[in-house]
């Protein structure tokens, strides 16, 4: 005779034995045995193959391991000036000063013990000039590179974040850069230009979106940078006509689409303030035993013609040198500084930068001697 026993569920309803017997069975799925060491080994091998393939691809595209020119790398170089080392020469300016100065050649020609490359691409050096002028630890030689369109813009510009990193770098940012250095000097793909989303964004298949404001093209890889921020133009810019055309087209697009200048009275007031700042900065550095010189690195072709029209030397370069009452060397005044190759119209070829630097040092020595300036940083 069937049992009629029952029990209660949590809600108070009686549950019969038949309902218990007919409840859904618990399903037990067999878990296959996994050989975890073998699986881990396979995963590591696949990762290594993928990594090696990605590295091989970028090396085939003429990328080589180089440093990323990060804000933290710049901040590390900037802190060298805080150590008040004797016989120190620092370079500030925009990318032309960054690309065109050969630090090893400079040290050989001058006998200076320490060179510090602080130029920042796409940037106005005047805010950094003011910071160094206010830095009581700096008593060396400051070389200021002038790129006329950039020196007139407000603020630092594109690389303002580098100055901020020097002022406010956190311990984690400092450590992150230290951990990054071994990767930078080992892998060609460890580069801002090889990031997957950057590569995808630069592909030609993306449709044009109507109604959006104009965005100038992004500046692509132009150089390789080394541990001390020594920088050489990338050989692909010099030797690959198609890539060179991308570089020159980028400069033309950027310069043709600059924002309109301010009203003339505003521009004149801003320039007058700039000249006063230059004078004060030079005087501050000289007052504690330092010295300042100015250089105008080369440009050519379309870029040079644009600069002649937009920022004639008599309206920009010459007033700055006059306000500074300092030695200024303009490339157009010396055949040995003009006779160089600028493959993308704005920076000296890596093959010419050593010769150009040695010629520049010789001219600076002569000009400084004419003014009775003796500097240990110049070997005089």
Angstrom distance (rounded) from CA 308 to CA 303: 9
CB 299 within 8 A of CB 342: yes
- What per-residue confidence (pLDDT) applies to 13? 55
pLDDT, position 373: 95
Give the pLDDT confidence score for residue 76 in this predicted structure.
97
**What pLDDT does 37 receive?**
87
Q: Rounded to an integer, what distance in angstroms lies between the CA atom of residue 153 and that of residue 140?
A: 27
Residue 68: count other Cβ atoms within 10 Å of its Cβ: 17
Sign of CA dihedral 285, 155, 255, 272: negative
Domain ranges (residues) in the chain: 86-169+219-378
pLDDT of residue 196: 86
Q: Kindly report, residue by residue over 220-272, the tens digit of the pLDDT.
A: 999 999 999 999 999 999 999 999 999 999 999 999 988 888 899 999 999 99
Structure tokens at 371: 């003014």
d(CA 49, CA 57): 12
Supply the pLDDT for residue 217.
78
Distance CA 112, CA 302 (A): 36
- In which order are the strands placed within the sheet that holds 88-92? 114-117, 88-92, 141-145, 291-296, 328-330
Task: Please give the pLDDT value at position 51.
Answer: 94
pLDDT value at residue 101: 98
Q: What is the pLDDT of residue 1?
A: 47
Q: What class, spelled out in words, does domain 86-169+219-378 have in CATH?
A: alpha beta
pLDDT of 18: 54
| Cβ atoms within 10 Å, residue 69 | 20
Name the stretches of the chain with pLDDT < 70. Answer: 1-25, 214
Supply φ then ψ for residue 7, to 5 degrees: -140, 175
User: Can you give the pLDDT at residue 211?
Assistant: 73
Prediction pTM value: 0.87
The structure tokens listed for 171 are 């311990």
* Selection from 78, 140, 84, 77 nearest residue 110 by Cα: 140
Alpha helix segments (H runs only) across 101-230 = 103-110, 126-133, 148-151, 160-168, 171-184, 196-201
CA atoms of 25 and 20, how far apart (whole Å):
10
């Amino acid at each position: 005779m069937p049992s009629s026993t029952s029990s209660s569920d949590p809600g108070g309803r009686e549950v019969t034995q038949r309902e218990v017997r007919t409840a859904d069975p618990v399903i037990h799925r067999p878990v296959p045995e996994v050989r975890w060491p073998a699986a881990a080994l396979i995963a590591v091998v696949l990762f290594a193959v993928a990594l090696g393939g990605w590295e091989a691809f970028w090396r085939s595209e003429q990328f080589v391991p180089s440093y990323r020119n990060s804000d933290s790398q710049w901040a590390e170089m900037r802190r060298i000036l805080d150590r008040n080392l004797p016989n120190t020469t620092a370079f500030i300016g925009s990318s032309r000063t960054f690309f065109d100065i050969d630090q090893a050649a400079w040290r050989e020609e001058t006998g200076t013990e320490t060179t510090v490359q602080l130029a920042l691409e796409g940037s106005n050096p005047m805010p950094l000039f003011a910071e160094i002028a206010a830095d009581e630890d700096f008593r060396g030689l400051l070389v200021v590179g002038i790129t006329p369109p950039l020196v007139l813009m407000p603020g630092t510009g594109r690389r303002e974040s580098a100055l901020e990193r020097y002022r406010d770098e956190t311990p984690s940012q400092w450590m992150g850069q230290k951990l990054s250095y071994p990767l930078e000097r080992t892998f060609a793909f460890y580069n801002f230009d090889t990031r997957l989303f950057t590569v995808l964004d630069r592909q030609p298949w993306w449709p044009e979106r109507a109604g959006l404001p104009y965005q100038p093209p992004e500046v692509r890889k132009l150089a390789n940078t080394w541990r001390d921020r020594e920088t050489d133009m990338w050989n692909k810019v010099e030797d690959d006509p198609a890539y060179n055309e991308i570089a020159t087209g980028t400069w033309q697009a950027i310069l043709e689409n600059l924002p309109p200048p301010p009203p003339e009275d505003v521009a004149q007031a801003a320039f007058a303030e700039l000249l006063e700042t230059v004078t004060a900065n030079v005087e501050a550095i000289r007052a504690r035993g330092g010295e300042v010189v100015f250089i105008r690195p080369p440009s050519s072709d379309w870029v040079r013609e644009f600069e002649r029209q937009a920022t004639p030397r008599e309206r920009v370069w010459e007033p700055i040198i006059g306000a500074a009452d300092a030695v200024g060397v303009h490339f157009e005044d010396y055949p040995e500084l003009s006779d160089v190759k600028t493959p993308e119209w704005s920076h000296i070829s890596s093959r010419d930068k050593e010769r150009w630097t040695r010629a520049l040092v010789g001219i600076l020595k002569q000009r400084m001697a004419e003014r009775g300036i003796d500097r240990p940083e110049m070997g005089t």
